[in-house]
Amino acid sequence: MTKAASAAAKDLAAAGVRGVHVSWADNNGIPRSRIVPIGGLGGAASRGVGVTALFAVFDSHDRITYEHPGLATPSGDVRLIPVIERLSRLAGQPALAWTPARQVAADGSPWPYCQRGVLERQVALAANKGFELRAGFELEFAVAPLDSPDIESAPGHGGPAYSPHALVPLDGFVDALLHDFEANGLRIGQLHAEYGLAQIELSLGATDPVSAADDQLLARQTIHAAARAHGLRVSFAPMVSPEAAGNGWHLHTSIRRKGRNLLAGQDGPGNDGAGYLAGLLRELPALTAITAPSVPSTARLRPGYFASAYAFWGVENREAPLRYVPASALLGDDHANVELKPCDASANPYLALAVVLAAGLAGIDERLELPRPIEEDPGTWSPGERSTQDVRRLPASPAEQASELSAATWVADVLGDELLGAFRSVRESDAAWAKDRPIEEVVRAHLWRY
């Protein structure tokens, strides 16, 4: 790997690259990085780059919590190992390249707090059972002028939602996105002006889970750089205004065996595909504590905003947290997938995919039965009607999320006790910060963190 890194560094240096972002995501979904001079990339590939172990217990406001026993002192160092096969020159920052990182202990052994390692283990477990997951994220973000303190006072576009007219003032930015994504090796399915305040959505092409998580991090870097170059700033935060629809980073997955999409079928998913969906449905309350974990995340999951407030599944139902997208004669079997809507930028993408894969595989292993889909909005039903249909509210507060995580013992099997403990300590720190603060202040505090 050192030879490959040195050879890549030589080529990049000849093209004018001076440094490499060695990047990872913390337990708040916030990307972090170290920049390595291009001449030092080979050394970083063999020895890593040193960082404090305490990044695992940074909260959303860059406060360090020492409540997790495993990381209760300021002592300790870990190494970031660049994943050279994902090395990419940044088209929007031509003096820099980018690569995701694995986190290892100071002696090079596995480190239990490495989120990428958690996902790699789950992918390997699935492969041992003969299963392969395909995944892709839809990214929603809001746009504002570079000097704007918020989105509301100076929205980057004024709509109409889904209209080509909305993006005409952002033509240069859109052009840069299309160019830079392709140059950085990222596939865009489509992009458009979305429903929310100054909102844009783009979809990333489906791929294997680890690549999908890597792509999500690279996409953030690409979007932020393109916005800055065109006098804009973007926010991926789960909420940009208490009154407006928030930003979701919807996670689309499909499960396959021997190349066959198990979610495809003439009348919906077959037995294993139905089990995969049923596993996700059963574990939705705990899943969302990982996939939508921040304080603004719980505020975003409200009825009537296509944000998925209640636990159920439906066929193409955009109020459903599990929106099943069927195959068709026009689109083919590969198109069949399930969209997890309560997922946003505050989720670590590796952890989000790891728990989704584990929950779905458990549903297959246990041959869970999938209930009938719901094609209505349970938010319009009475409490009695929801009770009759066994439809309950997803966690609507940090305390409810913490309770669901405590009850879901399987999450510790996926994340490991150490990482889950750090994750929960970070969530408790965020909840303590937000306690008694009005939602407006909470939204403002997270707006430019993402």
Nearest-angstrom CA–CA distance, 401 and 396: 7
Statement: residue 1 has pLDDT above 80: no
Domain extent listing, the chain = 2-109, 122-447
Neighbouring residues of 423: CB distance < 8 A, sequence distance ≥ 6: 27, 290, 293, 351, 415
- Residue 268 confidence (pLDDT) above 90: no
Altogether, the residues listed in the chain come to a count of 450
User: What pTM does this model have?
Assistant: 0.96
Burial of 181 (C-beta count, 10 Å sphere; 0-12/13-18/19+): buried
Q: What is the number of alpha carbons within 13 Å of residue 20 lying toward its C-beta?
A: 35
Please, which pLDDT band fits residue 280 given cuts at 50, 70 and 90?
very high
pLDDT at 266 over 80: no
pLDDT (tens digit, 9 = 90+) per residue, 366-412?
A: 999 999 999 999 999 999 999 999 999 999 999 999 999 999 999 99
CATH architecture of 122-447: 2-Layer Sandwich (3.30)
Burial 105-128 (b: 16+ CB within 10 A, else e): beeeeebbbbbbbbbbbbbeebee
| CATH number for the domain formed by residue range(s) 2-109 | 3.10.20.70
Residue 206 predicted with pLDDT over 80: yes
